[in-house]
Amino acid sequence: MRICSWKSIIATAALATVLASVSASGQNIPRLADGKPDFNGIWDRPRILDITRDSNACGSGAPTKGCVQKGSGELSYTAWGREQWSGPRFDYAARCLPWGYTRAMQTAYPIEIMQTPKRLAFLFESNNVFHVVPTDGRKLPENQDPSWLGYSVGRYEGDTLVIETTGFNGKTWIDTAEHPSSEQLRVTERLRLIDADHVEQVVTWTDPKTYTKPIQNTRVWSRMKAGEELMEWWCMENNKDLLEGHLVDTHKTGNEQ
Partner 1 sequence: MKATLAALIVGLLVAPLPAVAHHAFAAEFDSKKTVIVKGTVDKVEWTNPHIWIYVDMKDEGGTVTRWQCEGGSPNTLTRQGWSRESLKPGQQVSIEGFRAKNGSNTCNSRVVTTADGKRLFAGSSFGQ
- DSSP letter, residue 42: E
CB of 199 to partner 1, least distance (A): 19
Count the Cβ atoms, other than its own, within 10 Å of residue 255.
8
Q: Which of 19, 108, 121, 140 binds partner 1 (CB under 8 A)?
A: 108
Instruction: Tell me which of 106, 170, 177, 221 binds partner 1, using CB under 8 A.
Output: 177
Asked if 19 interacts with partner 1 (CB under 8 A), we say no
- The 50-69 site mask, x for binding partner 1 (CB under 8 A), equals ---------xxxxx------
Over the window 120 to 149, marking each residue x when it contacts partner 1 by CB under 8 A and - when it does not, the resulting string is -----xx-----------------------
Neighbours of 88 (CB within 10 A): 9
Q: How many CB atoms lie within 10 A of CB 230?
A: 16
Q: Which is nearer to partner 1, 47 or 70 (CB)?
A: 47
Answer yes or no whether residue 231 interacts with partner 1 by CB under 8 A: yes
In the bound state with partner 1, the residue whose beta carbon lies nearer, of 140 and 235, is: 235
Buried b (16+ CB within 10 A) or exposed e, 23-59: eebeeebeeeeeebbbbebbbbbbbbebbbbbbbebb
- Of 25, 78, 204, 250, which one interacts with partner 1 (CB under 8 A)? 250
The bridge status of strand 119-124 relative to strand 41-44 is: unpaired
Instruction: Pick from 12, 73, 91, 160 the residue near partner 1 by CB under 8 A.
Output: 91
Nearer to partner 1, 48 or 163 (CB): 48
HEC readout, 117-183: CCEEEEEECHHHEEEEEECCCCCCCCCCCCECCCEEEEEEECCEEEEEEECECCCCCCCCCCCCCCC
Q: How many residues does the chain have?
A: 257
What is the maximum span of the chain, computed from C-alpha positions, in angstroms?
54
Closest to partner 1 by CB, 137 or 245: 245
Residues lying near partner 1 in the complex (CB under 8 A): 47, 49, 59-63, 90-91, 93-94, 96, 107-109, 125-126, 176-178, 228, 231-235, 237-241, 244-250, 253, 255-257
